[in-house]
Structure formats: structure tokens, C-alpha cells
Amino acid sequence: MDYILNVTGFILEGAKVTGQLYILTAVFSVLLGILCALAKSSRFRLLRMIIGFYTWVFRGTPLLLQLFFTYYGLPTLGITLEPFQAAAITFIINYAAYFTEIFRAGIESIGKGQYEAARVLGLNYRQTMFRIIIPQTVRRVLPPTSNEAINLVKDSAMVSVIGMTDLLRAARQVLNRDFTITPFIIAAILYLIISSVIVNVFRKLEERFSIYE
């Protein structure tokens, strides 16, 4: 029992890095995704093309390749980043590309009648978006956003390839030291707990925003 507690404590130290990366990515990728979705839904063709190219590149190439490019490739251009900085930037830009398409689809799923009704009420574009369109959009995009949130937990394990001691790397270090599968079982349980918490959070959010349906 003492061994399990000690191993769990060591793995949880690695989980701190996973948690920090997760929170940072979740916050900034969602914000960037919303801005890009609004830009891609705008009437400016050039802006739509730029955002379209961005989402095409980052959704069409592997996250691991993007991580390698940021950490190992940018130094050849004179830009050197710490492992956590490289991981955070890569994850934020990558996930924002997915959120852009999710939020764009949600915005465009709202019927044109909603916009017409807003104009009749005398609401401007900003008021229409934030009072009428976005609240309805949030409810519709929660399920796919939940899937991306869970994927982010699992994808965070990739940071071990650039030397960061995350949850999985910590478990692997114990495995190499003690030659026992116990750390991997503990790591799996921790991932399942984190994923379960995320699922429950999104379930509560869906219930809260169900009033907009």
C-alpha cells in the first residue's frame, strides 16, 4: 500500500504539468476559436480565406508534427522556446482550429429568422450575436466541444516527446525503475477520473443551456 501511495504521489507531480497545459490550452483555444469562427462567418472574403487556410493546415497535419516543428524546427529560424512554451503554443493553435469549425458550424446552424427578429427589435450586430445567437450556439456546440476537451487530456501525453515530465512520462519513469505495470494502471485510473470530471461538467452545462432550445 505504501508503494502505491508513493508511486501515485510521484505520478501526480507529473499530472500538475498536464493540468497546467490543459487549463491554458482550454481557455485560450476556446477564445481564439470563437474569434476565428466569427471571422470565418463574416462577410469579408479575404478574412474567411485566411482563417480557412489556417484551419486547413492545423486540422490536416498531425499534432505531433506541429509540436516537433514548434520545438525543434523554430530554433533553426532563431526562435527558441522552452518545452512548456512550445507545447502550450502548439496545443492552443491546434485546438483553436478545431474549435473554429465547431463554433462556425454552430453559428451558421442558427436560422436566419433569428437575425431578422433581432433587427426588428432594433438590436445591432454585437447585441444580436451576444444576446441571441451565441447563447443558442453554445448549447449546440457543447457535445462536440466535450469530445475535444476529452481528447485534449489524452493528447497532452505527447509532450513527453520533447522532454516534459507529464502524467504519462512520470508513470513510465517508475515503470523503467521498478519493472512493474502498477504505474501504468495508476496513470490509466487518473486519466479516467479526469475524463469523467470533464464529462460531468459538460453534462451540467448542457442542462443549464437547454433553456435556449
Q: For the chain, which domains are there?
A: 2-212 (1.10.3720.10)
What pLDDT score does 136 carry?
81
Any idea of the CA torsion for 183, 189, 190, 196, to the nearest 10 degrees?
Answer: 170
Flag residues of the chain having pLDDT under 70: 210-213
Q: How many CB atoms lie within 10 A of CB 105?
A: 15
Give residue 95's pLDDT. 97
Q: Per-residue DSSP letters for 117-139?
A: HHHHTT--HHHHIIIIIHHHHHH
Q: What pLDDT is recorded for position 119?
A: 83
Task: Count Cβ atoms below 10 Å from residue 44 Cβ, excluding itself.
Answer: 11
- What DSSP character marks residue 160? G
Cβ burial of 175 (10 Å; 0-12, 13-18, 19+) is middle
For residues 177-201, one letter each, b for 16 or more C-beta atoms within 10 angstroms of the residue's C-beta and e for the rest, the string is eeeeeebeebbeebbeebeeebeee
Contact between 164 and 17 under an 8 Å Cβ cutoff? The reply is yes
Segment 8-31, tens digit of pLDDT: 888 888 888 889 999 999 999 999
**166: amino acid identity, one letter:** D
Query: Do 109 and 66 form a contact (C-beta atoms < 8 A)?
Result: no
User: What is the pLDDT at residue 211?
Assistant: 58
For the full predicted model, state whether its pTM sits above 0.85: yes
CA–CA gap between residue 99 and residue 102 (Å, rounded): 5
